[in-house]
Amino acid sequence: MRVVVARTTQTAAQPLERVLRGSCWVIDGDTIIIDKIRIRIAGIDAPELDHPFGKQSKWALVKLCKGQVVTARIKPELSYDRMVAECFLPDGRDLGAEMVRAGMALDWPKFSGGKYRHLELADARKKLWRAAVRQRGMMGAVERSLD
């Protein structure tokens, strides 16, 4: 694994960019590990492994990443214990866009600014309803009602 710090012109308005490159280990549909660093794919929300379509989402991401060198452009924010990054395959494909396009993740407009919304399949929010509920901040209430 290589950590690359891209230096262009160093100004206060343009901080240094941190980039990780390497093969990855897929945790779930929106989380990977590159060289022991846990990374949340920026701007998307995939179902948890124990939610409907969670395992399918993970395996869709495994299929995309298998045998590939992934480039992660680290963003300044953190998500729980994970760094957040825009992640790309060697051919330039955005992993977030590919997961949304495949119907295995949703655009999370709070974090993406709606970057991936146009790629969502027509029934994606209905199919991945638990992720959609989580985005509205209602997950605790739904889980209590299911108990």
What is the average pLDDT across 24-50? 95
Average pLDDT, the chain: 84
Closest CA to 109 of 136, 69, 129, 79: 136
If you ran DSSP here, which 8-state letter would residue 119 be given? G
Reported as a pLDDT band with limits 50, 70 and 90, residue 76 is confident
Return the minimum-mean-pLDDT range out of 71-80, 94-103, 120-129.
71-80
Alpha-carbon span 95 to 57, nearest angstrom: 12
Catalytic residues, by residue number, are 40, 48, 82
Alpha-carbon span 126 to 114, nearest angstrom: 18
Reported as a pLDDT band with limits 50, 70 and 90, residue 92 is very high
Reported as a pLDDT band with limits 50, 70 and 90, residue 16 is low
Q: Which residues contact 37 (CB under 8 A, 6 or more apart)?
A: 20, 83
Give this prediction's pTM: 0.80
